[in-house]
Structure formats: C-alpha cells, structure tokens
C-alpha cells in the first residue's frame, strides 16, 4: 500500500520517516500533478494551517483531496492537519481560509496559549493504551459531532478523534519513537 504525505509546508519529513520505518511506500503531494500517482491513504502533517490551506487551494489540490477523504480514504491529520480537516473553526480563528472541512468537529487553534505552547505528556488513547504525545502550539477539539469517536482527552479537552477513515490528532506522534499511532493508521 502507498501513503501520500502532503508536502507543501510543515513537518512532513518526520511522517515520511515514520512510515518508511514501518515499511510503507510513501509519495509526496507538492502539486496537482502528484495527485495522479496511485495512493491509498493520506497524511496531513503539522505546520501552519493557514499557509497549508491557501497552498492547497492555489495549487488546485483542495477539491480532489476533499472528495477522496469524504469517500473514505484513510487520513491521518496531525495538529495543523486537524485544523484543515475540521468542519468548523472557533469564530475567533475562522478567517475564511480554505480548508478540507470533512471532519465533523469544532476546533480552536493555538488552544494552549503562548506560555504553554509546547509540552510533552502521555495520553490514554482508545485501543492503544498509553502513548507519548508532543504538543506544539496545538489546537483542541471543542465539540465533536455524533459520528465522531473521541480517542483521547488531555485535562478534559478532546485531543484525538476518529470519524470513519479520518483520524485527527492535536499532537505529533511522528516526533516520538513510539510507532503505534502510525501502525493504527496503516491498519485502517
């Protein structure tokens, strides 16, 4: 099987390394022509969601990816990726920047403020048990729709969700040695 990693901006190389370690074939999506390669799954990395959304629209990739995700293609979205997938953003954050908007959640960006912007912790993730989690200027899920399964919370806030093939994480499993989150994704 082949996983496409969105590689227009952000921390895509870390996901690629993790997937390669697990024996997965990886292709990069940098321009619309890359969508013509065969791939079965998608990773949306962390980075800057506003930049990523604008680039996806400008490069002509937004609609095609939205259709495939909505049709059930397994998709792992971390941090900025979660923001791109969210159907709704907190009004304060929503500047009308293009997004994929396929995941039925309401998300707040930079939810931990500047002081506590980045931290490392362990979380109980449904189906996996305790996993390490690195948060970097992370968003969190304020509301999850009825079809959305909450996979993990941190101090009462939803930080991991799944809806069908879409897994949305506020943290960065690609930055820790533990491979189980990527293994879970590859098992979908």
- Closer to ligand GLN by Cβ: residue 40 or 137: 137
For the chain, the straight-line distance linking the first and the last C-alpha, in angstroms and rounded, comes to: 11
What residues are labeled active site? 79, 172, 174
Using CB under 6 A, which residues numbered 38 to 77 contact ligand GLN?
46-49
Using CB under 6 A as the binding rule, whether residue 110 contacts ligand GLN is answered as yes
- Closer to ligand GLN by Cβ: residue 146 or 159: 159
Least separation in angstroms between residue 33's CB and ligand GLN is 26
Separation of CA 6 from chain center? 10
Least separation in angstroms between residue 93's CB and ligand GLN is 8
Using CB under 6 A as the binding rule, whether residue 80 contacts ligand GLN is answered as yes
DSSP type of residue 133: E
Distances in whole angstroms, Cα of residue 142 to Cα of each of 88, 91, 107, 184: 10, 12, 6, 24
Of 64, 63, 61, the closest CA to residue 9 belongs to 61
Least separation in angstroms between residue 136's CB and ligand GLN is 4
| CA 35/CA 30 separation, integer angstroms | 9
Where on the chain is the footprint of ligand GLN (CB under 6 A)? 46-49, 79-80, 83, 109-110, 136-137
């Amino acid at each position: 099987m082949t996983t496409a990693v969105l590689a227009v901006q952000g921390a895509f190389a870390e996901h690629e390394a993790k997937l390669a370690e697990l024996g997965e074939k990886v292709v990069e999506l940098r321009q619309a022509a890359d969508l013509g390669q065969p791939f079965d799954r998608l990773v949306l990395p962390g980075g800057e969601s506003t930049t990523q959304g604008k680039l996806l629209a400008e490069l002509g990739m937004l609609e095609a990816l939205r259709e495939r995700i909505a049709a059930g293609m397994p998709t792992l979205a971390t941090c900025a990726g979660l923001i791109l997938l969210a159907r709704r953003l907190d009004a304060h954050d929503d500047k009308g920047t293009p997004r994929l908007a396929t995941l039925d959640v309401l998300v707040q960006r930079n939810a931990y403020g500047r002081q506590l912007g980045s931290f490392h912790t362990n979380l109980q993730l449904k189906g996996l048990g305790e996993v390490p989690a690195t948060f970097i200027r992370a968003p969190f899920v304020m509301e999850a729709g009825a079809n959305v399964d909450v996979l993990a919370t941190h101090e009462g806030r939803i930080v991991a969700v799944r809806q069908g093939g879409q897994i949305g994480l506020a943290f960065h499993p690609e930055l820790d040695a533990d491979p189980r989150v990527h293994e879970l994704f590859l098992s979908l």
